[in-house]
Structure 1
């Protein structure tokens, strides 16, 4: 059986930020398992639609068949960009199912293995939008909720050697971002100009931050949210 402290599970890891995190895990010498609706080309691929709890449960059983996982990145998510008037209740439910419920379900599945090992690292992928962003009712609510869960889990699990932290990406050049923010849109151009470093982030920027939180030496950092946003949150995030 593989050493559980060397196993990393990434949800939504077939592309974008998730793929970059999976690649980071491989570069750090970990065995990587990816669960995604699309077949991943990095690590062990488990294909499943994570918006469905039964499919998620089956995928987790497959991921854990080779032994416990003690490093988890809850990365999968969807945006559903609309104004309040246009946001449907079905989209709100879908955002919570994929962005939030899936994270709870994955954490519950790996928890016993982490406790048995006396070691665990959980990283929840939130968003800068958790601080507030137009056209993001469903998305912002679910991503802000992940920050709340991060703080609760950090308090509950610290005594077991398990740390829980969140990352809040700013605008990152991924397919998910460009679908919600077309390149020729004045709103998109305004976003780039509002970033103090004057560029969009890359998936690698987020993977680097995740690698830190997932590492052995990050055991005294828990319950924190790191905004990787090129400085966009300086005037918004609490000190």
Structure 2
């Protein structure tokens, strides 16, 4: 018996990941959410799995279980953590944690689902980078990991394009999520500077990012790969390369 085809989203229980899951579900797709916590919401076509994606063994084990139940034909590597800190306070443990969640998990999950991604002939991988990859104070570990993810995205696109698999990255700017609020307290001068830098004069929403993800995940968009799309309200103008 053939397995159902599905799109897997990491960190889909809340925030941007949840918005992407809901947008995919609204299209009638089967969605697998892989997160360290189970969501407080449900849908008939949503399957949930738990794992600590910073642990290689746990990531491989859960990925194997998912691959046994579903053919993952699209993958959204969305889970992330900031671990803020300046060069005076950032620790090696912070760097290792953020790299494990951002880079190691992306590598292991892409490897785990490659058979189904290749077999479908139009596999899709979307990696969640960040505007911080261009440089952001107090984000030593985070900006380094997200910049590394952009490099991984471009290399994967080159290696997998011949299999019909596209690999692209989304780089959100200021998005109104719980993660943003934790790192940027309301009323703090730093937070106000971020708000003042937004060209379109509003914070982004998780739905703004989800709509970008839908573009990259569409079977119709097989001629776009290795790209980084800044969903940032214009905050990267003058910073991002053309």
TM-score grouping bracket, smaller chain normalisation: over 0.9
- Match in the other structure for 1:192: 195
1:117 paired residue among 101, 117, 120:
120
The CA distance in 1 between the partners of 2:62 and 2:136, in whole Å, is 33
CA contact (8 A) 1:46 1:62 kept: no
Listed as ranges, the matches of 1:73-152 within 5 Å are 73-152=76-155
CA contact (8 A) 1:79 1:139 kept: yes
The one-character-per-residue Cα deviations of 1:136-178 (angstroms, maximum 9, x if unpaired) are 1100000000100111011111111100000000010101110
Shift of 1:3: 4.4
Shift of 1:32: 0.2
1:168 paired residue among 145, 163, 171:
171
Shift of 1:75: 0.3
Calculate the TM-score normalised by the size of structure 1: 0.97
**2:230 corresponds to 1:227:** yes
Residue aligned with 1:20, SS:
helix
* Runs (5+) with no aligned partner, structure 2: none
Residue aligned with 1:213, SS:
helix
Does 36-45 or 14-23 show the bigger shift?
A: 36-45
The CA distance in 1 between the partners of 2:65 and 2:115, in whole Å, is 16
Residue aligned with 2:72, SS:
coil
Listed as ranges, the matches of 1:193-208 within 5 Å are 193-208=196-211
Shift of 1:2: 4.0
CA contact (8 A) 1:167 1:210 kept: yes
The CA distance in 2 between the partners of 1:154 and 1:214, in whole Å, is 14
CA contact (8 A) 1:78 1:98 kept: yes
- Match in the other structure for 2:24: 25
The CA distance in 2 between the partners of 1:49 and 1:130, in whole Å, is 24
The one-character-per-residue Cα deviations of 1:113-148 (angstroms, maximum 9, x if unpaired) are 111222200000000000000001100000000100
Listed as ranges, the matches of 1:40-51 within 5 Å are 40=39, 41-42=41-42, 43-51=46-54
Does 129-138 or 113-122 show the bigger shift?
A: 113-122
* Runs (5+) with no aligned partner, structure 1: none
The CA distance in 1 between the partners of 2:230 and 2:3, in whole Å, is 33
The CA distance in 1 between the partners of 2:165 and 2:232, in whole Å, is 26
RMSD of the alignment, in Å? Answer: 1.0
